[in-house]
Chain A
Amino acid sequence: MDFEPVIGLEIHVELSTESKMFCGCRVKFGGEPNARCCPVCMAHPGALPVANEKAIEYLARIGLALNCSIPERSIFHRKNYFYPDLPKGYQISQYDRPFAVDGRLEIVVDDEQLTVGIERVHMEEDTAKNIHAGGGGRIAGAVYSLIDFNRSGTPLVEIVTRPEIHSPQAARTFLNKLKNLLKYLDVSDCNMEEGSLRCDANVSVRPAGSSGLGVKTELKNMNSFKHLEKGLAMEIERQAQLIESGGQVVQQTVHFDFATGEVTPMRSKEFAHDYRYFPEPDLVPLAAGSDFVEKIRAAMPELPDARAARYVNDLGLPAYNSEVLTSSRELSDFFEATLAHFDDARMASNWIMGELLGYINAAGGDLASCRMAPAEMGKLLAMIRSGAVSNAVGKEVFAEMCKTGQTAGEIVAAKGLAQISDEPELAAIAGRVIASNPAQVEQFRAGKERVLGFFVGQVMKETKGRANPQAVNRILKEKLAG
């Protein structure tokens, strides 16, 4: 039987605000444990939460960027459960009156445009961090557990999609696009390894072509795009095999182990919660009136689609280039920074898309693995355009710059890579090449003009590619004609 997967994602985003959601403690990753906590985020008796206005602004940005509608009032709820990383014994979250609802995000998968509905976007707070010694890193069986409250109370936005994703690849594409959007919004570091972007998935399968929903499982602990795609594929496969062998999918939480790449159902006891949600009496409702929403809308940073359109309309780039450049906030910022030092947008975009992305892909990293500053790239492109270095040498220098962070000038000087445009020197080399290849000279003079390319190649070989190609062409033609 053919199965169609049905996937809904729940994404948690830690906001990069200065301070925590309900107190003044600083938000930062890592550092000395329990150095950034106070009576509020450690839930001392009598302490009360105060909502972080900046976090609400960031939340509104996310809601608007995901085309959500923002109700005039939303309220906080308490989500009650006991766990040592949850100091109050409840998490302040939102429940039936979330901040933003009914949005969407468009993605392209295999050239097909898909719309993924966004059910809700809401505000909550992160937990502290538990470190369990022994017991395989889980609390059951641990010898002892340590708690670091630095993360406790970090603003956390939860984004819930509708179950409208139908392949692991589409899930990955969605998450990638969302991450990029969040970066443009300047609201989060979106670092999956550090946990500032986390993704859980609700997955079920159904016979291809049917429209009902199968029993879903909740897949947790996927801390990279690769793991998301792999974990989903494994879980879909597990469910399909289960059904085909006459079994039934049980609604449960499934843990993805990225060390072994396996998915294992968690014991039912670990997730059988009745959260007893009720309105948080310590916080007044969030009033997001039209004034507030319009203020946020007016101050929204330029989003990828708008930026791509600007590249096409103002810079004259092809649509494809614009899309590739804006698919990453860092890349597009790099491009714009290069343009501050070099005015040929098309040439800059070609070099970024060809050489820079080539380098990044080969290095298997991201833009951070490139040590070249955009200003230096601009200077290199200017050297290439003026003929100071050849195109071929330029590529070599480019790669070196990415690797070492040295400037183009330094590399060219150190390796003697400056282009040879000196007429007498080129004429001498051309003379030698013609003299030592009489057979080819005969062919050229008999009308086989493409033999010229052979001579150019020989001159380039002699000069290790540094000869100015236009000058070489002209000089060879003159000499061969003579």
Chain B
Amino acid sequence: MTGTATAGNLLRLSALDALELMRTGALEAAALTDAYLSQIAKNDKIVAAYLRLTTAEARLKAAANDAAPAADRAPLAGLPTAVKDVLVTEGVITTCASKMLEAYNPIYTATSILKLAEAGIVMLGKTNMDEFAMGSSTENSAFGPTRNPWDPERVPGGSSGGSAAAVAAGEAIWALGSDTGGSIRQPAAFCGVVGLKPTYGSISRYGLVAFASSFDQVGPITKTVRDAALMLQYLVGKDPLDTTSVEHPDVINLPQDKDLDGLSVGIVSELVGEGIDAGVKKVFDQAVKKMEAAGAAVCETSLPHVEYALPAYYILAPAEASANLARFDGVRYGFRAVGALADITEMYELTRSQGFGDEVKRRIMLGTYALSSGYYEAYYGQAQKVRTLVVEDFERAFDQVDLLISPTSPTTAFRLGEKTGDPLTMYKSDICTIPVNLAGLPGISIPAGLADGLPVGLQLIGPAFSENMLLQAAHSAEAVIGFDAVSPLIERAD
């Protein structure tokens, strides 16, 4: 380590900067990993971003990296990474923040983690989340909530709240999350970091514990847009174990420093009106002005069916979830209710009513109902039609503009407990992100500024497989917006 590198500024390094320092020998992976581990030791009792640490393995991997000649090192060697506990890791307990999987030790590893591990990352541990990725605040974890590094009285968003909080708290240089209706972008927005949900099919879902299979997508949560592009380079690709995955048509590039000249951007009219907090709207408008000043041609664009996206999502995603979570039946692994059980039916009922939390049960029941004989057409059938209409809305919009933008979430991070009593209000936190999942498009949230001291996210949405354009635009926007605040937890470490 060089004399100028303090613990604090190690925590401020982007992944690309850290790689460069390690390449030149100015920084050792062991020191970088140690800096993050001590930040975790200092702050994670409060933040509770992690459910489980893999400290010993992390130190070993970092040391092995330092022992290898620079030329032999893997491309992402030594980067301390947090992994959402929805991705299975062989030999490391994977819980999905559910009592159902409290002691579940996977027998294989998710493709996305295998790929990053091969590229050299150092996994620090598994992060907290809403149970089975169902929620927008990480309060639905069976193991207690994660707190927002900007204000511990507030939620980090969800469901990838642990991963976003870890990056914002300096407890990981970057993280893996998953996004079904906004679960990467909304917590990234709440925590003042970058979150990318790639095009559906870009990244293998093998080993991602399924919530809603036709929506789920793995993605990076990072400090910068360029870091998100870097991680994406190593995540994309067709996986023979996931037939819904495809080869990305483009080689993913690292965005270059340039302005927004020639880029046409449409503000989604339906997502900037009613229901958006004034503070969020103000930060959003300022960001738009800066993008215009940097050369972007901004207009308003309508997605007329987007108001039906939320109800359609809350039919389709729970329907898929009701089947996806049927495997948690107490038979082969995971939690099983004990006691004098009359028969197999009672074993199922008790196992599932004791093993799942309220929100998971709520969605399983919603989905079961929507698929039931006599209701299927009225609910599932209708919702599929809405999904098609939303897809067509986006297609029409992208005939007019290159990208669409909106706030990532209608509010900044809310207080713990503020919305837990009212699921519908909680669901509305994802009103801007859900349409993107319905259409399978790539979307990214970047920090746009602060409202009352809390981060506000700007969402950019592109056509399917337009990641290169989307990341380039997001990188340029990030530069002109110039958001350089970090959470108090990183500030204090300086």
Contacts and interface: CB of A to CB of B under 8 A. Distances in A.
Interface of A: 39, 42-51, 78, 80, 82, 84, 87-90, 139-140, 145, 147, 274, 276-278, 281-284
Contacts of B276: none
A272 to B, nearest CB: 11
Contacts of A82: 326, 329, 348
Given A45-B101, A46-B106, A50-B242, 18 more contacts: A42-B332, A45-B96, A45-B327, A46-B88, A46-B110, A46-B208, A46-B209, A50-B241, A78-B323, A87-B327, A89-B327, A89-B329, A274-B372, A274-B373, A276-B371, A278-B380, A281-B320, A282-B243
A42 B372 CA distance: 26
A185 B110 CA distance: 39
Given A80-B322, A276-B368, A281-B213, A45 B329 contact: no
A143 B212 CA distance: 37
Contact of A46 (B207, B322, B331, B368): B207
Contacts of B210: 45-46, 282
Contacts of A284: 243-244
B331 A84 contact: yes
A147 B331 contact: yes
Contact of A44 (B106, B325, B368): B106
B213 A282 contact: yes
Contacts of B331: 84, 87, 147
Interface in B176-210: 205-210
Contacts of A44: 88, 106-108, 333
Contacts of B327: 43, 45, 87-89
Contacts of B88: 44-46
A87 B328 CA distance: 9
A89 B323 contact: yes
A45 B106 contact: yes
A468 to B, nearest CB: 70
B231 interface: no
Nearest to A139: B344
B326 A90 contact: yes
B160 to A, nearest CB: 16
A113 to B, nearest CB: 40
Contact of A43 (B332, B343, B344, B348): B332
Contacts of A278: 319-320, 323, 371, 376, 380
Interface in B77-131: 87-88, 94, 96, 101, 104, 106-108, 110
A147 B332 CA distance: 9
Top 9 nearest A-B pairs (CB, nearest first) are A89-B326, A276-B371, A281-B213, A281-B214, A45-B209, A46-B207, A43-B327, A274-B373, A46-B88
Contacts of B380: 278
Given A87-B331, A281-B213, A46 B206 contact: yes
Contacts of B96: 45
A283 B106 CA distance: 23
Nearest to A51: B243
**Interface of chain B: mostly helix, strand, loop or mixed:** loop
B339 to A, nearest CB: 16
A89 B210 CA distance: 14
A238 B205 CA distance: 53
Interface in B306-354: 319-320, 322-323, 325-329, 331-333, 343-344, 348
Nearest to A39: B108
B474 to A, nearest CB: 29
Interface string B359-377: 0000000001001110010
B240 interface: yes
Contacts of A274: 372-373
Contact of A48 (B206, B333, B344): B206
Nearest to B384: A279
A50 B243 contact: yes
16 contacts: A44-B106, A45-B101, A45-B327, A46-B87, A48-B205, A49-B243, A80-B322, A80-B326, A80-B371, A82-B348, A88-B323, A88-B326, A89-B323, A89-B327, A276-B322, A278-B376
B176 to A, nearest CB: 13
Contacts of A48: 205-206, 241-244
Interface residues of B, number: 45
Interface in B216-246: 240-244
Nearest to A37: B332
Contacts of B214: 281
> Which of B212, B243, B376 has the largest count of A CB atoms less than 10 A from its CB?
B243
Contacts of A89: 323, 325-327, 329
> Which of B212, B213, B319, B327 has the largest count of A CB atoms less than 10 A from its CB?
B327
A46 B325 CA distance: 11
A89 B110 CA distance: 22
Contacts of B208: 46
Given A139-B344, A282-B213, A284-B244, A45 B94 contact: yes
> Which of A88, A139, A278 has the largest count of B CB atoms less than 10 A from its CB?
A278
A42 B333 CA distance: 10
Contacts of A39: 107-108
Contact of A45 (B104, B212, B242): B104
Nearest to B212: A281
A181 B205 CA distance: 40
Contact of B323 (A42, A51, A90, A147): A90
A314 to B, nearest CB: 46
Contacts of A46: 87-88, 106, 110, 205-210
A49 B244 CA distance: 10
Contacts of B213: 281-282
A46 B348 CA distance: 21
A281 to B, nearest CB: 4
A214 B344 CA distance: 35
A345 B105 CA distance: 65
A281 B186 CA distance: 25
A46 to B, nearest CB: 4
A401 to B, nearest CB: 51
B96 to A, nearest CB: 7
Nearest to B352: A82
A87 B240 CA distance: 22
Nearest to B96: A45
A140 B343 contact: yes
Nearest to B100: A45
Contacts of A51: 243
B10 to A, nearest CB: 33
B183 to A, nearest CB: 16
A80 B343 CA distance: 20
Contacts of B326: 80, 82, 88-90
Contact of B240 (A43, A50, A139, A147): A50
A34 to B, nearest CB: 10
Given A44-B333, A46-B210, A82-B326, A282 B372 contact: no
A78 B240 CA distance: 21
A235 B371 CA distance: 34
A402 B290 CA distance: 93
Interface in B241-269: 241-244
A140 B342 CA distance: 10
A270 to B, nearest CB: 11
> Which of A47, A49, A51, A276 has the largest count of B CB atoms less than 10 A from its CB?
A276
A44 B108 CA distance: 9
Contacts of B212: 281
Interface in B3-42: none
B83 to A, nearest CB: 13
Contact of B243 (A43, A140, A276, A283): A283
A275 to B, nearest CB: 8
Contacts of A80: 322-323, 326, 371
Contacts of A50: 240-243
Contact of B372 (A78, A88, A276): A276
Contacts of B372: 274, 276
A277 to B, nearest CB: 8
A83 to B, nearest CB: 8
